Structure 1
Amino acid sequence: MEISILVLLLSFAILLAMNVPISISIGIATLLTMLFTIDAGPAVVTIAQRMASGINSFALLAIPFFILSGILMGRGGIAHRLIEFAKVLFGMLPGGLAFVNIISCTLFGAISGSAVAATSAIGGFMVPVMEKEGYDRAFSGAVTVTASTTGLLIPPSNILIVYSLASGGVSIAALFIAGYLPGILLMLGLMAVCGFYAKAKGYPVGERVGLRDAVKKTLDAIPSLLLIVIVIGGIIGGYVTATEASVIAVLYSLLLAVIFYREVSVREIPEILVKSVETTAIVMLLIGTSSAMSWILSYENIPQSISDGLIALSDNPVIILLIINVILLIVGIFMDMTPAVLIFTPIFLPVVTELGMSPLHFGIMMVLNLCIGLCTPPVGSVLFVGCGIAKTTIAQMVRPLLPMYVAMFTVLLLVTYVPAISEWLPRAFDLY
């Protein structure tokens, strides 16, 4: 077993260092590991079977539809309307534009289900506006990058669907509802940091929006916000499954973008469909190869060995959960969320369940933890997009990011050690 683990870790690390795409790196590393365990012919057949079975899930049908819905919403003029709505709520406060940025990223991230899309759509508008009003460009980019990750906790969230698959069937509806309070806590934590930062730097206070404009901007944003109500309301009410809700989300987004807002023309639809297919293919390849790697890890009894090792290390749940969080934070620095969830859920889930933590609680903790990795160097995809949008460097953005990392880690600890934050809402709706 030691040789197999060494082959897996070394080959995976070498391939990543060579800038091989992560899905290909996972697949090749898994195949090389299998060759040390079983013959070449059966190894190739096994990895193909595990990749096919990994994506052979009804729940995963929701992912391509939510991806398509997110692209439609991103092209449909939603970002500008959400920003104007956020200005109505918080634009008049000290550092109000930073609050507007955070609220807008949270709402858009929740609607689109993509942190990268939220960073591009909101940051592309807000960063120049904030700079014009006297805000530092690096600070504006840091706000956008960190706030965009909150939408991955607030449904509809593709990564929560992936966790449901990796965990062996935790209710998607329960996961969706469980993400609300942690997502809101994360948003409030970032707002607190921005409030202190804005006061220390003397950033300007925005003008109060008049009642007539406030009503108009709120009404403009309501159709976009209704997507969340329709999707989550349908799932909670038991009218639709998450997969069926994703189809409704596509239809609603299409009507909103093409007919109601008229921001997307019929000619653009083929291009949008191709983009959604490309994104779906990348996600599904990641899921397939990660499923194969999870199988070889299980075959080599690695999860059980790690579980026994952690339990032997300490019998204190506080210490073990802290160690798991630190490991996941390191993993998040170097690995994207989807493969990280698929690979490390089978490893750590047995450990936390033995400690009494529910799979639902662990899923929210894990996703929140990996959200931090999206905005940390060297591989943080959202961080790179944010640097491009803000036209700044990672080195310049790190300083304003540090207090935001502290806020995110503080919220992570609260979610880790206070189960009610994740479990209260699902239990209140009898979903868990």
Structure 2
Amino acid sequence: MTFMMTGLFALLLFLSVPVGYALIMASGTAIRWQGGTPTVLAVVKLFQPTQSFPLLAIPFFILSGSLMMSGTLGQKLVQFAAAMVGRFHGGMGQVTVVGSTIFGGVSGSAVAEASALGSMLIPWQKREGYPAGFAAAVTASSSTIAGLIPPSIPLILYSTVSNTSIASLFSAAILPGLMLAFGMMLVCYFSGRLRNFPRLSNRAELTGFGRSLLSALPALAMPFFIILLLRAGIATPTEVSVIAVFYALVVSLLLYRDLTLARLQEALVGTVITTGVVMLVIAASSLVGHVLITERIPAMVAQWSQETLGTPVLIILMMNLIMLVVGMFLDLPAAILLLGPTFVAIGQAIGMDPIQLGVMICINLSIGLFTPPIGTTLFIGAAIARVPIGAVVKELWPFYLVAFLVLVLISYIPAFTIY
């Protein structure tokens, strides 16, 4: 049944059926063909995972990020990034990377970050004389840092399929996220130096560092505030997400005074749409998981890996290669929910720390977001910059090298995921 489900799913994707619907149709057909599961039970399994209390954190983190990113705070963050690195070689590219890292601590979503930050910084880079393809490439690649910096939506999803601590995942992912940011900033620096990109020199843009830091402090404090509450056991992830929304409302209403009914309505509508998409994939993945578990696929794959590949080094390499291919065709949440249970079983079989495995999975599948043919942030960056996808891909190769280097380090050196 698994092969039939996989083939039907691939066919539906080829026919441009949305991922969530394709998963439901493929797994539902397999369950009906199998005949051992009553239809009522299949429907219950479809809705059961959406009732998980920890998953309530997703819409609240999305809402808090939307409220903070769409107002004055977003502009303050860009000003802070410009004051921090704008005067160096490749400064505008570095501003984008720093902005992505900070925005990642607010939004938790690479797609939301690419849209919000790209709409501000890609036109700005083009006006400053940066190639449109390079501007789109920096945005497409650096926005994926949001998948690691707390509050990361992918890490929350991984915690639901692996039964691992969200607080530990958040703590373990900070250093890898900063490693990605530093590597991409180096790419921007050397690209700017070799290609003589212009540097920011306008005093209005290079605001005093201290003043810009003070203005951006509410957003800079968000990820540390989340980690503190979780690690100290003061609140659960869901409670922290509600506190984050309250924090965003207070900052927007009392500090920046830019919250309007129109902005609130836009944030609520966007949150509902995004949450609906994620929850549809979560519900669909439950049916897929039922088919896989019924046929003992995770256990069989783990046993095959041990018997055939033997060493953990080759098994980890195999997992990474599979994820790189899958990430090129599936969006990150769907890929985590589909591959997570099987890879957790493999990780347990070889003695790999599930926290390290979760960070590895998120980095790997995040690369797929800016990799053709179906890279979401790649398409967003190209659309905003108004350049062909090929022009962006040509500029992406050094960013791929950085991402692969970080992936290798995280995969084989557990010390980089200390929590």
Structure 2 length as normaliser, TM-score? 0.96
Uncovered stretches (5+) of structure 2, i.e. residues with no partner: none
| Alignment match, 1:76 | 71
Matched residues in 1 for 2:100 and 2:38: separation?
45
Say which of 247, 255, 259 aligns to 1:252. 247
Query: Tell me, what secondary structure is at the counterpart of 1:321?
Result: helix
CA RMSD of aligned residues (A): 1.7
Instruction: Say whether 1:266 aligns with 2:267.
Output: no
1:123-168, Cα deviation, whole Å (9 max, x unpaired)? 222222222222111001100110000011010111111111111x
Uncovered stretches (5+) of structure 1, i.e. residues with no partner: 427-432
Say which of 283, 286, 294 aligns to 1:299. 294
Query: Tell me, what secondary structure is at the counterpart of 2:199?
Result: coil
Instruction: Say whether 1:289 aligns with 2:284.
Output: yes
Matched residues in 2 for 1:270 and 1:87: separation?
30
Matched residues in 2 for 1:382 and 1:156: separation?
19
| Alignment match, 2:199 | 205
Structure 1 length as normaliser, TM-score? 0.93
Query: What is the identity, as a one-letter code, of the residue corresponding to 1:166?
Result: V
Say which of 44, 60, 83 aligns to 1:49. 44
| Alignment match, 2:148 | 153
| Alignment match, 1:430 | none
Over 3 Å counting, the alpha-carbon distance change for 1:386 and 1:135 in structure 2 is: same
Query: Tell me, what secondary structure is at the counterpart of 2:150?
Result: coil
Query: Tell me, what secondary structure is at the counterpart of 1:156?
Result: coil
Over 3 Å counting, the alpha-carbon distance change for 1:100 and 1:338 in structure 2 is: same
Instruction: Say whether 1:17 aligns with 2:14.
Output: yes
Matched residues in 2 for 1:100 and 1:204: separation?
13
* 1:64 and 1:280 in contact (8 A); partners too: yes
Over 3 Å counting, the alpha-carbon distance change for 1:244 and 1:43 in structure 2 is: same
Q: What are the within-5 Å matches in structure 2 for residues 354-373 of structure 1?
A: 354-373=349-368
Matched residues in 2 for 1:399 and 1:284: separation?
35
Matched residues in 2 for 1:361 and 1:326: separation?
17
How many equivalent pairs are there?
418
| Alignment match, 1:429 | none
| Higher mean C-alpha displacement, 65-74 vs 19-28 | 65-74
| Alignment match, 1:353 | 348
1:95-123, Cα deviation, whole Å (9 max, x unpaired)? 11111110001111221112122212222
Matched residues in 2 for 1:325 and 1:374: separation?
15
Query: Tell me, what secondary structure is at the counterpart of 2:208?
Result: helix
Over 3 Å counting, the alpha-carbon distance change for 1:195 and 1:324 in structure 2 is: same
Matched residues in 2 for 1:257 and 1:155: separation?
20
| Higher mean C-alpha displacement, 127-136 vs 103-112 | 127-136
Q: What are the within-5 Å matches in structure 2 for residues 159-170 of structure 1?
A: 159-167=154-162, 169-170=163-164
Q: What are the within-5 Å matches in structure 2 for residues 20-419 of structure 1?
A: 20-38=17-35, 42-167=37-162, 169-207=163-201, 213-419=208-414
Query: What is the identity, as a one-letter code, of the residue corresponding to 1:247?
Result: V
Q: What are the within-5 Å matches in structure 2 for residues 414-429 of structure 1?
A: 414-422=409-417, 424=418, 426=419
Query: Tell me, what secondary structure is at the counterpart of 1:179?
Result: helix
* 2:105 and 2:220 in contact (8 A); partners too: no
Matched residues in 2 for 1:271 and 1:124: separation?
17
| Higher mean C-alpha displacement, 301-310 vs 362-371 | 301-310
Matched residues in 1 for 2:382 and 2:171: separation?
32
1:293 CA displacement: 0.6
Matched residues in 2 for 1:397 and 1:342: separation?
29
Query: Tell me, what secondary structure is at the counterpart of 1:262?
Result: coil
| Higher mean C-alpha displacement, 211-220 vs 333-342 | 211-220
1:240 CA displacement: 1.0
1:297-356, Cα deviation, whole Å (9 max, x unpaired)? 011111122112222221121111111101001000111111211111111111122212
Matched residues in 2 for 1:226 and 1:85: separation?
14
1:16 CA displacement: 0.5
Query: What is the identity, as a one-letter code, of the residue corresponding to 1:182?
Result: P
| Higher mean C-alpha displacement, 97-106 vs 230-239 | 230-239
* 2:114 and 2:140 in contact (8 A); partners too: yes
* 1:231 and 1:248 in contact (8 A); partners too: no
Matched residues in 1 for 2:135 and 2:376: separation?
17
Matched residues in 1 for 2:25 and 2:396: separation?
35
Query: Tell me, what secondary structure is at the counterpart of 2:87?
Result: coil
Matched residues in 2 for 1:390 and 1:212: separation?
26
Query: What is the identity, as a one-letter code, of the residue corresponding to 2:169?
Result: L
1:215 CA displacement: 2.2
